[in-house]
Chain A
Amino acid sequence: MTIAPIRKTVSVAAPPARAFDLFTGQMGAWWPKGMTIGASPAAAILIEPRAGGRWFERAEDQAETNWGRVLEWDPPRRLLLAWQIDATWAYDPGFETELELTFTAEASGTRVTMEHRNLERFGDSAARMAEMLGGGWPGIIDGFAAYVAGV
């Protein structure tokens, strides 16, 4: 089965090349604070500018937490990322969904479209989560529930 992709669009004043640079080069500056997965707050969110490059966050203490990787690097029009954060909010190298960004010139700047697809793969991830729970991964769900309750 397929789950409909998520599509989001915004228009920004900058031309495509500038928008692409801001998006990829300064992600830590604009990505909402707290919406990261590392053990401590992210000081930077980095995308290595090439196909195969890493996509990860880096904390103040330099600890790095992977988010995924670059599948296609095609500035200033398109960026294809692998989102490898699973349903338990953990980076999983065996899990991959596509996040595609397109930057299209329009009269007033750039239309930025984000599409997150292959969402049905989270279902496999849910099954794996069950296996991990069965294998005794200590209280991950309890931990999440407690964390969520405390937010």
Chain B
Amino acid sequence: MELAPYLILGCIEGLVTAAVLALMAVGLSLVFGVMRVVNVAHGEFFMLGAVLAWFVADQLGGHPAIAFLAALIIAPLLVGTLAMLADMTILKRISYDPERTIVATIGLLYIIQQLTLMTYGSNARPVEPPFNQRIAIPWFEWTDGGLSLYWPWGLGTTSYKLAVIGFAIILLLGIWVLMTRTRIGLIMRATQLDRDVAQAYGINVDRVYAMVFGLGAGLAALAAVLIVPIQQAHYLMGHDPLLLSFIVVIIGGLGSLVGTVIAAVMIGLSDGLISVFFTPTLAKIIATLMVTFVLIFRPSGLMGSK
């Protein structure tokens, strides 16, 4: 048995995880970077995205690709709007005090999670991917005729998974362009750098905060829509991704987008590889301890500037 094809499988699986993780972590990082608050309910926004995707697909029926596309647009928008409302009614009222925000978002976590339990139920439900061709993973072998390709039995990925990776890359580039090349991005970065000065220049900080909070949640929801054809939608699915995105954001450096992406790739790949070769639990333990020690000994992360 060749090791390499399994490595390739592990890498692809890892990159899918990394793609989804990167989107979700960027959302979290944006919120922390600009607003300086930790949103513990971030995982529930993720879960809501998946649940709403199922809901939209279920209601629409018809061709899976159309249902999926609709979900891809509607779910993040709905979740983002909900987040903006939460920001305006709760977070603003407690003046974004770091401790109170953590408490409030923990409360929000339970509210969203339990309301979903009450309406959607405790079952996991699938959403059909828009396309799903099986692609076998090739590898090389020496034959009489020299080097040639062969397809190890049972090792394959799907076209959808590859598409997820591609789509995430495009989206992340888009966010980078948004933050660095547009006016909105400039306003967000200005508010991040110095809230009071930004306000003095006429920037409506409250509105920026609501927008950023909504954008962060929307990204999480989007990541969920992408993963739900692979994973199914379940009311508790926000828990693990929340912890993983915390890990990614901290290792990458709070407030640094590039660092977040790099860390997501690292964590996603290692998670994928360790899961393929060992157990998922061990992978999680290692990742958790990694971030803890980064925070202790290198608090600014890989590239952060806290």
Query: Does B bind A?
Result: no
